[in-house]
Amino acid sequence: MLFLYGYDYTVEDLKSFRQLHSKTPGHPESTDCPGVEVTTGPLGQGICNAVGLALAQKQFAATYNKPNYTLSDNFTYCFLGDGCLMEGVSSEASSLAGHLQLGNLIAFWDDNQISIDGSTEVAFTEDVIARYKAYAWHILEVEDGNSDLAGIAKAIEEAKKVTDKPTLIRIKTTIGYGSLAQGTHGVHGAPLKPDDVKQLKSKFGFDPEEFFAVPKEVTESYQKHVESNLKVQKEWEATFAAYKKEYPELGAEVQRRLDGKLPEGWEKALPSFTPADKSVATRKLSEGVINALSDILPEFIGGSADLTPSNLTKATGSVDFQPPSTGLGDYSGKYIRYGVREHGMGAIMNGIAAFGANYKNYGGTFLNFVSYAAGAVRLSALSGHPITWVATHDSIGLGEDGPTHQPIETLAHFRALPNCSVWRPADGNEVSAAYKSAVSSTSTPHILALSRQNLPQLEGSSIEKASKGGYVLKEASKPDVILVASGSEVEIAVNAAKLLEAEGKKVSVVSIPDFLTFDKQSDEYRLSVLPDGAPVVSIEVMSPFGWSKYSHEQFGLSRFGASGKAEDVYKYLEFTPEGVAERASKTITFYKGKEVLSPLTRAF
């Protein structure tokens, strides 16, 4: 279809389906395939992305549409199958879409009763229609999805009339319709046999000996649609030109957003700190940044998975994104109540980012529960969606909630994900640097791991330094050891350095809040931070996996945490200045008299 609509595909591209470096991979990717709006792949993600697209459209329209000037009124259409409906994440997003009364969302359920294991009778026999009615969706059905085109078109028109509910159109179809293997799971992922292709072409009036040919009638039909759409585009451009004259400030704002730009000097709103400022939890510092940015960035919207009082993600005075009829907010609202739906939230955020208009959207939960959304986070990175996770309660420092809530492997997991920026700031300047990176990004998702406990404003930190992902916080000439840490452990490293210095040892302290950003710096800069000549010890109260590229010795957790007061848990697990100093002393002794190259020095 994209080929027929004139997107940048050739017949050779179609012939290269599923081949290396082709524009037609096995699962379409938005970054490589012209005309593809979202990368889905794993089942269930598409309907969630569609909810995000519809949500963004509602918010954009409510913010900018004016009488006689409609800048946005589109519907979002989504195709989903039985497998999509089995995935739990589709339930999360569909439930929220019904609550939000997203009447601009129309989903087509390809009800062919086949999955890869065979008939859906083996595992999927629930009443889907009853479930979606309970979600407050409008339901329509087409009995013959194989040939009743008029019935499908009628259903679409009926769906458009219902403005206060999303619509699910159940279309009963036969998988592989017309082939000899129709109605079987074998036709799902395997090419048809040559004889079957020939009989199928004959059955539908095509020349069985002609390949990769498009009938003239089909080409002409698509061309008419292209011409019609170009006319609509020109009409919109004329409306927008008049809008900019009538509403010059709003018009300029919309144009800026469509151009993918941020307001000039927006970074000046980011707060900076000195050691004289009081100790504050980085989640609380994050709240301050959210307040500052919400005031100046209309595209900065977000919410929380039912943890607003803990994540501190709601800007002061912000209005909830809610159906106006509920009295809970309106569609111009910038705060989204996702409910306890972490995975759905992540996938919906991808859809909001895909809408365009330069949305900078974020979602809050505990760091440990970002793992619930791993599938959506992976697609954020693969698709280049610049969404932000405000991931609070980032370590054993959350205390009494214990091992079920204390992340251990989480940062290692997401740091290992290509194109995923994982920030764990140690103080207010690093929090601002993290948001500067996240909001500036056009193609990289960010996870901000934030503390529950108070942390001091550190001597030697700055937004400028932290923006490089890693920097020397405390420098010693020809150090005996370098302590490198992130987040709350940077303070511990600084205090451990003081203990070691009292023993006559020379110690440098390095903060690396974000691996990805640090790795993008020049070799010269990175070697100035972690130079030859001194052993490096990393400190982080999580899995040490991944820290070996920055350190010779790693002090981390290879066990689950413990329930108790945060300070008691830290002490029990020896994450104290004394515990770090002891390990640093052993490291100095071990490497004494040996040539020590920077851990950054590698063969390749």
* DSSP assignments along 107-149, one per residue: EEEEE--EETTEEGGGT--S-HHHHHHHTT-EEEEES-TTT-H
Give the residue numbers of the binding site for Mg(2+). 82, 112, 114
Report the distance separating Cα 239 and Cα 218, nearest Å. Answer: 32
Element (H, E) at 464: helix 463-466
With H, G, I as helix, E, B as strand and everything else as coil, classify residue 604. Answer: coil
CB of 171 closer than 8 Å to CB of 111? yes
Residues acting as catalytic residues: 342
Per-residue burial over 200-232, b = 16 or more CB atoms within 10 Å of its CB, e = otherwise: bbeeeeeeeeeeeeeeeeeeeebeeeeeeeeee
pLDDT by residue (tens digit) across 31-81?
A: 999 999 999 989 999 999 999 999 999 999 999 999 999 999 999 999 999
Q: Which among 55, 4, 142, 125 is positioned nearest to 331, based on CA atoms? A: 55
| Amino acid symbol at 563 | S
Distances in whole angstroms, Cα of residue 12 to Cα of each of 6, 16, 36, 394? 14, 6, 18, 50
What backbone torsions phi and psi does residue 352 show, to the nearest 5 degrees? -60, -45
Dihedral of the CA atoms 424, 427, 433, 439 (nearest 10)? 70
Pairing of strands 421-423, 454-455: unpaired
**Amino acid sitting at position 241:** A
Residues of the chain where predicted confidence (pLDDT) is lower than 50: none
**H helices of 247-332, where?**
248-258, 282-296, 308-311
Q: How far apart are CA 137 and CA 335, in angstroms?
A: 23
- Residue 509, helix vs strand vs coil: strand
Summarize pLDDT for 547-600 with one digit per residue, the tens: 999 999 999 999 999 999 999 999 999 999 999 999 999 999 999 999 999 999
The predicted pLDDT at position 572 comes to: 97
If we measure between CA atoms, which residue out of 249, 387, 358 comes closest to residue 299?
358
| Burial classification of residue 287, based on how many CB atoms lie within 10 Å of its CB (0-12 exposed, 13-18 middle, 19 or more buried) | buried
Amino acid type, 589? T
The separation between CA 244 and the C-alpha centre of its own chain, rounded to angstroms, equals: 32
Please state, as a whole number, how many other Cβ atoms lie within 10 Å of the Cβ of residue 300: 23
Residues that constitute the known binding site for thiamine diphosphate: 41-43, 83, 112, 188, 369
